[in-house]
Amino acid sequence: MRTWDSASRLAAGLGALVLLGANTRAAGLNAAFDKDGLSALTWQSDELLTGGRVELADLKVAGGDAPAGAFDRRGPDFDAAHHTVENDYNWGKIRITYRPVADGLMMDVEVTNSSTRPLTHVAFTALKFQFPQTPKGVDWEKRYLISNDNPDEIPLIMAEWAGGKLAFCRDDAGPGPLSIGLQPLGDKPYGLIIGFGKEPILPRATRRASVSIRLGDPTTPTKSLTGDISVAFAKKHPSTLVWKDRRPIGSAFLSTSVAGYKNNPRGWLLDPEMDVTTPAGRVIFKTKMMAYADSVVAHCKQMDAQGVIVWDLEGQEMPHATSYIADPRMLSKVAPEMEAIADAFMKKFSDAGLRTGLTIRPTKVTKADKGRPGWMQADVKDQVAEIDAKLKYAEKRWGCTLFYVDSNVDFVKDPNDGHVTGDPAMVAAGFKLLAQHHPNALLMPEHKTAAYWASVAPYSEFRLGYNGTPSIVRDAYPTAFSVMQVVDGPDLKSPEAVSTLTAAVKNGDILLFRPWWDDPQSADIQTILKQALGGAVQ
């Protein structure tokens, strides 16, 4: 086993964070090698590596199947002088050179295609990691494949645990897309997956990329560890969002999904006795809705809210995934009883000086398939145009400026195998264009990539483990913020919740609350706001 020694460290100019020998490994970072390549990576007293042998995970070749024996490796050959490991295959080779850098370890990766056909996808496990505890964050807790090959995402993956912080970063700017990810391999280990796809590697060509492993103490600011990556990302996706008002927003729900109420099919006010099928019943419906609006106004004023989003103006007659119609243009067809009173209902809020808003979706509402009653959501070719038309309608009719964008996923076809999947979110350029066309509106999409924060304020939920705008995003966009639903989750009186949400508000995040009743959690939210803002909500 070979370790970097003091002479190597000084020659490399590693700075304050050094790679130490095995006898002093508790003081910092230790990297060691054997015939397979990297064999140990110890941070403080925590051994993070369980294996350094390269393992080919996937190979796709244009025009047919991968050649027989494509996964059979010759080697590896390790060059101890240069810390380079080379794995040969019958189609080409994978080569990794490890070199020390100021805050960790750099991996210069090369994939060479020596076959006669383009390689459309090459993925391999470069290293296997373990952590003393499950790292913080929603993705880690749910043990998803944590990956990054989306140009709208900051090219890094952060792991934080009690003993330190580790970041995997793509340090070069190309050429070609690169996927880096951590794949759960069992109870504890994660495989560091590196993949070249989307752009084929042509015969006799070599694709190169540099990936760094950066380590710091638990108190190390992410900006000092990965700030260069975030800043470079922000230059590619410059910030355009300006929204100074960070007061809370009320989220008003009017209905319940598929309650099965015979005479109240849209589930208004969760009232099984309500009847919207008769003239007399619709009079009562209007009276109750106006009283509901008055209650929302009163509670928004009590919270010093900037506005209210009516989450389900069209009611909820159809089951998931239709649920929210989220198209105000369809109101007369899907909920005629609300169409008749909608202008007066929404005017209650604007007359009170509140911003108004709605839920919208990038899909088109159509009649359900033959043999099924009601309505359904259908995909459209131009999601931006669909959203734009809904925004224009709501802005013109009710002066709306707050929009929760539900289900903003984009379905794409894999060019290699034709498989259709849903990307986590629409491309950020679409929301940037929408924000430019609607400069007075705040868009709050359900799904997001890092580039979204350049032009919109993504939606999140505290109960799902989201604790505010990620630090790596704020490193890229210091004024970025999220809109976070904080009810129906952890106890807002708990010290942990107070601390977390106070920090989020101090960083500019906006909290959502339930404004139609005397919700005890509203008082908890007020306490958090006052603590974060020193007694002032705005």
- For the chain, helix, strand, coil in percent to 5 are 25, 30, 45
In this structure, are 95 and 180 located in the same domain? yes
Confirm whether 173 is domain-assigned: yes
User: Using 50, 70 and 90 to split pLDDT, how confident is the model at 537?
Assistant: very low
Which residue, 233, 264, 286, sits at the end of a domain?
233
**pLDDT (mean) for 261-269:** 95
pLDDT confidence bin for 15, thresholds 50/70/90: very low
The pLDDT of residue 24 is above 90: no
Residue 244 covered by a domain: no
- Residue 535's pLDDT is 53
Identify the sign of the CA torsion 287, 292, 297, 298: positive
pLDDT tens sequence across 275-302: 999 999 999 999 999 999 999 999 999 9
Give residue 151's domain range.
Answer: 2-233
- Give the pLDDT band of residue 400 (cuts 50, 70, 90): very high
Residue 149's pLDDT is: 81
Q: Identify whether residues 438 and 476 lie together within a single domain.
A: no
Same domain, 437 and 381: yes
Q: Quick one: 194 and 229 in the same domain?
A: yes
Q: Considering the domain boundaries, does residue 462 fall inside one? A: no
pLDDT value for 13: 28
Highest mean pLDDT among 42-51, 188-197, 215-224, 513-522: 513-522
Please report, rounded to a whole number, the percentage of residues in the chain having pLDDT higher than 70: 91
**pLDDT band at 308; cut points 50, 70, 90:** very high
3-state secondary structure string across 5-41: CHHHHHHHCCCCCCECCHHHHHHCEEEEEECCEEEEE
According to the model, what pLDDT value does residue 9 have?
Answer: 33
- What is the rounded average pLDDT for all residues in the chain? 89
**Terminal Cα-to-Cα distance of the chain (whole angstroms):** 60
Q: Is 70 exceeded by the pLDDT of residue 421? A: no
Q: Is residue 463 part of a domain?
A: no
Cα 252 to Cα 312: distance, rounded to the nearest angstrom: 8
Could you please report the per-residue DSSP string of 444-474? EESS--GGGGGTS--EEEGGGT--SS-HHHH
Q: Please check whether residue 242 lies inside any domain of the structure.
A: no
DSSP string, 57-102: EEEEETTBPPPTTTT--EEEEEETTTTEEEEEETTEEEEEEEEEET
Residue 103 pLDDT: 84
- The answer on 391 and 298 residing in a single domain is yes
- Structural domains counted in the chain: 3
Where a domain ends, among 206, 233, 260? Answer: 233
Claim to verify: residue 222 and residue 259 sit in the same structural domain: no
Cα(54)–Cα(122) distance, integer angstroms: 13
Containing H/E element for 226?
Answer: helix 222-236
- Of the pLDDT bands very low, low, confident and very high (cuts 50, 70, 90), residue 469 is very high
* Residue 172, pLDDT score: 83
Its pTM stands at: 0.89
CATH number of the domain to which 111 belongs: 2.70.98
Query: Is the same domain home to 70 and 108?
Result: yes
Q: What is the mean pLDDT of residues 471-479?
A: 96
**Statement: residue 522 has pLDDT above 90:** yes
Average pLDDT of the segment spanning 96-105: 91
429 and 489 in a single domain? The answer is: no
Separation of alpha carbons 88 and 340, rounded Å: 72
Helix (H) or strand (E) holding 428: helix 428-437
Per-residue model confidence as pLDDT tens digits over 147-176 = 888 889 999 999 999 999 999 999 986 667
Residue 316 covered by a domain: yes
Are residues 384 and 255 both part of a single domain? Answer: yes
How big is the CA angle at 476 (ends 475 and 482), to the nearest 5 degrees?
Answer: 85
Question: How does residue 411 score in pLDDT terms, banded at 50, 70 and 90?
Answer: low
Band of residue 317 on the pLDDT scale cut at 50, 70, 90: very high
* Same domain as 271, residue 201: no
Residue 75 belongs to some domain of the structure: yes
- Residues 9, 53: one domain? yes
Domain-embedded: residue 461? no
**Model confidence over 431-466: pLDDT tens digits?**
999 999 999 999 999 999 999 999 999 999 999 999
Q: Are residues 17 and 137 in the same domain?
A: yes
Task: Specify the pairing of strand 156-161 against strand 146-148.
Answer: unpaired
The Cα 233–Cα 210 span in angstroms is: 16
pLDDT in tens, 211-259: 999 999 999 999 999 999 999 999 999 999 999 999 999 999 999 987 7
Of 456, 482, 502, the domain-final residue? 456
Q: How does residue 11 score in pLDDT terms, banded at 50, 70 and 90?
A: very low
| pLDDT attached to residue 424 | 62
How far is the C-alpha of 261 from the C-alpha of 522, rounded, in Å? 30
